[in-house]
């Protein structure tokens, strides 16, 4: 698809505006569905890491309190435990960059919707998770197929920005600000002997670097 490029600074300005709005609305019902989306990305990232290292996904549970768990069998315990926070962060960065640097927003949103639906039907086994996954997948497909391309572009930016923001906050909340025994950092601490706070600190540093990298790629916009 071809078209007139956006002014060089506009994609970056839009991304920063999205981040500011997300921060202001962080504890409101407006951002809540987006947080659950990040939880979904977190849990499927665990599952994909298990599959990539020779394991399988047993089931995924997603709860209304922004909690979740991915039950896996086999695979590398180290990479599976590491993939949650970092996976959701990487998903967010990719969505953010895709929204800013391509004109393929509608196909990408459609693919994300199909992915969410497929994962939900195959693996999610909680009532809330099933309802959310089916609803979110349907909304994404509806946006991609019925609304103007600009809506898909904005949605990619929003999903990407919230994912990049939520990943480091989730790490800090679970590891640095309070002690959650069942967190991914504690699982890695048990495997490696390094304290959970060390893993949390590493993940936050990585999250900041990846978020800045994604931000740097949001301008100027490339038109394929």
The pLDDT value recorded for residue 131 is: 97
The pLDDT value recorded for residue 127 is: 95
The pLDDT value recorded for residue 21 is: 75
The pLDDT value recorded for residue 56 is: 96
The pLDDT value recorded for residue 219 is: 61
The pLDDT value recorded for residue 99 is: 78
pTM: 0.84
Please, are residues 123 and 116 in contact by the beta-carbon 8 Å criterion?
Answer: no
Q: Which residues contact 21 (CB under 8 A, 6 or more apart)?
A: none
For the chain, list residues with pLDDT below 50.
1-6, 8, 221-224
Say if residue 111 is exposed, middle or buried (CB neighbours under 10 Å; 0-12, 13-18, 19+). Answer: middle
Q: Whole-angstrom Cα distance, residue 169 to residue 174?
A: 9
Please, are residues 200 and 176 in contact by the beta-carbon 8 Å criterion?
Answer: yes
């Amino acid at each position: 698809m071809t078209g007139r490029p956006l002014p060089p600074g506009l994609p970056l300005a839009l991304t920063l505006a999205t981040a500011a709005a997300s921060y202001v609305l962080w504890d409101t019902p407006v951002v809540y569905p987006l947080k659950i989306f990040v939880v979904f990305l977190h849990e499927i990232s665990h599952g994909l890491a298990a599959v990539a290292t020779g394991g399988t996904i047993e089931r995924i549970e997603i709860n209304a309190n922004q909690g979740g768990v991915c039950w896996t069998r086999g695979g590398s315990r180290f990479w599976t435990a590491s993939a949650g926070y970092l996976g959701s962060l990487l998903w967010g960065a990719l969505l953010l960059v895709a929204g800013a640097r391509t004109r393929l927003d509608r196909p990408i949103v459609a693919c994300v919707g199909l992915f969410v639906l497929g994962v939900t039907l195959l693996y999610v086994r909680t009532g809330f998770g099933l309802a959310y996954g089916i609803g979110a997948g349907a909304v994404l497909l509806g946006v991609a197929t019925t609304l103007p391309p600009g809506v898909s572009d904005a949605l990619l930016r929003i999903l990407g920005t919230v994912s990049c923001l939520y990943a480091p906050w989730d790490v800090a909340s679970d590891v640095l600000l309070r002690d959650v025994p069942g967190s991914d950092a504690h699982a890695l601490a048990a495997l490696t002997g390094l304290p959970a706070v060390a893993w949390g600190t590493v993940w936050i540093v990585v999250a900041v670097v990846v978020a800045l990298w994604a931000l740097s790629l949001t301008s100027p916009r490339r038109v394929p």
